[in-house]
Amino acid sequence: MKGRASGKPRDPFSAALDALKAELRNGRLVLGEPLTITELAQSLGLSATPVREALSRLAGAGLIEDRRGRGYVAPRYEVSDLEELYGLRRLYLDEALKAGEMTDPPPGPETTARRASAGNQLTDLLDWIAAQAGNRALFDAYRQVSDRLAPAVQVEGQVFALAEDLAGLRAVLTERVKCSAVLVDLHDARRRRAPDLIRAMRANANISSL
């Protein structure tokens, strides 16, 4: 891992957790590499204890693996993992569509200036759909799956025309049936192209390690 936690951390555990989550989201840890506590602590400028606690939290959330007696390892994504995760995310979004009132204004380009890329705007829009159900348990489950998918989402722009995906979804937000159909198509496309996403993820991780 490169770099240190920036700024003055609120507390060491939060600093370690935020830094490790960022590494996972950015796709730098997807090759099944061992996560050595002492090396991570040195890289982050923290003691071993908060790093160990952060790794335990991430393992509990299913974002990394705890191999008892052998330490923690980063996930190694396979095609089947992406197929399952994209399928599960679609189910959560479909359930949110059925239960939600869809009355809050969706995030638009004018409200997401700091997240101007089509990929970031698409993520914001999917998050908005999931939140419309007003069901905390459903949203938390959706977020957990989204966190696990983050390394794949990071490279979707190398495989898909995200601006077209974004425009297509925005166009049907007020029509539940059409919106559901667009979400099915969007997720089915990603499941079909899972091998391409895996290759892009591994290439991204290898570049990040240089």
Model confidence over 84-95: pLDDT tens digits? 999 999 999 999
- Give the confidence band of 114 by pLDDT, cuts at 50, 70, 90: low
CATH of 12-76, one of 3.40.50.300, 1.10.10.10, 3.50.50.60, 3.30.1280.10: 1.10.10.10
* pLDDT at residue 205 is higher than 70: yes
Distance CA 99, CA 94 (A): 9
Residue 180 is which amino acid? S
* pLDDT at residue 208 is higher than 70: no
- Give the confidence band of 4 by pLDDT, cuts at 50, 70, 90: very low
Residue 107 is which amino acid? P
- Please report, for the chain, the start and end positions of each structural domain, with discontinuous segments joined by +: 12-76, 79-205
Contacts by 89-92 with C-beta closer than 8 Å and gap 24+?
89/126, 89/142, 89/145, 89/146, 89/149, 89/187, 90/183, 90/184, 90/186, 90/187, 92/130, 92/138, 92/141, 92/142, 92/145
Question: Chain-wide mean pLDDT for the chain?
Answer: 89
What is the per-residue pLDDT across 119-146, written as a single tens digit (0 to 9) for each?
999 999 999 999 999 999 999 999 999 9
Write down the pTM of the prediction: 0.85
| Parallel/antiparallel/unpaired status of strands 71-73 and 34-35 | antiparallel
